[in-house]
Amino acid sequence: MAEILGNLKPQAVFHYFEEMTKIPRESGNEAAISEYLVNFAKAHQLDYVQEPCKNVIINKPATKGYETAPRVILQGHMDMVCVKEDDLDFNFETDALPIYVDGDWLRTKGTTLGADNGIAVAMSLAILADETLEHPALTVLVTTEEETGMDGVMALDPANVSGDILINIDSEEEGFALASCAGGVRNSLKLPIEWTILKEAGFVTYEVVISGLKGGHSGSEIDKGRANANKLMGRLLNELHGLDGHLSQVFGGEKMNAISKRALATVTLPSNNVETLKEKVQAFEDMVRAEFAVTDPEITVTVTEKELVTKVFTEKTATNLEYILKLIPYGPQTMSANIKGLVESSTNPGVVEMFDHEIEINSAIRSSVSTLKAEMNQRIQAIADLTGATVELIADYPEWQFAPESKVREVMKEVYQQMYGKELQISAIHAGLECGFLSQKLGNIDMISIGPDITGAHTPKESLSISSTERVYQFLCEVLKAIK
């Protein structure tokens, strides 16, 4: 079968990327993609290590004349965020991603693309496979479970990796090299559920769904002013007070590190209050559509009758859940005083899940200042204390601090100026990168992060610029050539 991306350049990069779109690689399900990387190393007779956590490290010797040059680590992660359109029949565990070319953009038909961070892997494999490139000794480090808490880099054995320079390829804007990033943690708030049985007659059950939101990356797009469906559901539940309604189900979001674009609640109420319910829901939809007319113009709130449910939350549980969803922080919390326009601290209650005995709300907490990260967690802890919930912090990862001096940064600036006649911008990002952990694991190593233009990461609108990919790959190859 002919490759969909066979005519794109760089041909090797898009070949490997297309290969990966056929392999399941959701965070936590990376066995197949890890084996693919091992088989690549074997086929090219390269030394490799596959760690128990499925991280893969591949080494390639220096080319002639580069034997004494600093060893360079090329780094990315193999996993991807798997999100699809609500009505799309698609299985990330078995189906190839439905990729297609749209002018200069590579997209999919209703799913995330996995350019975050499959493009790093594709570029690294293309470099390893190319026998014509001039470069220092190379180590390619591909980690697992970056998207759900950086478990792969946390489990990395430093004895398996050595190098003097590390180039992370997990940035999403051409022309910008990142030299710092935020740290983060998953804040898991758990509210116990108390149940009761409705014994009165005359009740009906309705499902209320908030949908049509854009969503987005909870780090790089948290400053776009977009609505969060979980937060909207808290407001809607507050609006529905006075209807003698009883909650029995609540869900929202898909991934902690994606802005929630859909939420659902099941409400049982007296049949004579149904019209009022519909009126309040319509009024709420009109209100939030007006509030988010620019950022989320397609917000929709629907009400659908369901089979009667009589096992419901107690009033105490329902009220505490409403308070939590209303009070839990969302969006930018502080802005950087040093870098104009950079979010310093943020929170995103990305997922609301319900189990038999508890409701779990998972928030992505990010900050480039560790004490502010702690302060946001303390605020959520205070909400938990007031509502009888508990809080657990999971997968805490450190910020990556700016280094005043960097050889690779200077090399990149010089090469970029020579290639494009303009200055490479050195910046920071609010999203988390593995560089914070890598600096702890690997010691005093010179690091920087680059990447091609990617839009809509962590959403079904994720897109990769083809021309930007070609330019960034050529730039990366020239940088390797210049490191001596």
Distance CA 392, CA 477 (A): 44
Distance CA 181, CA 195 (A): 44
| Residue 47 bears catalytic tag | no
Alpha helical stretches, state H, 328-399: 370-387
Q: At 43, phi and psi to the nearest 5?
A: -65, -30
DSSP 193-217: --EEE---SSEEEEEEEEE-----B
Distance CA 276, CA 281 (A): 9
Distance CA 348, CA 345 (A): 11
SS3 category, 353: strand
- The order of strands in the sheet holding 99-102 is 99-102, 105-108, 463-465, 454-455
Closest CA to 185 of 363, 387, 388, 4: 363
Catalytic entry in 30, 116, 146, 254: 146
Pairing status of strand 446-449 against strand 165-168: parallel
Residues with Cβ within 8 Å of 200's Cβ and at least 6 positions away in sequence, in order, are none
CB distance 5 to 115 below 8 Å: no
For helices 229-239 and 315-327, the axis angle rounded to 10 degrees is: 130
CB distance 52 to 31 below 8 Å: no
CB distance 142 to 392 below 8 Å: no
- Token reading at 329: 């922080």
DSSP 299-329: -EEEEEEES---EEE-HHHHHHHHHHHHHS-
Distance CA 425, CA 416 (A): 10
Closest CA to 82 of 74, 72, 91, 70: 91
Catalytic entry in 18, 19, 26, 79: 79
Distance CA 355, CA 351 (A): 13
- Token reading at 191: 């509210």
DSSP 40-104: HHHHTT-EEEE-TT--EEEEEPPPTT-TTSPPEEEEEES-B---B-TT----TTTSPP-EEEETT
| Residue 79 bears catalytic tag | yes
Active-site amino acid positions: 79, 146
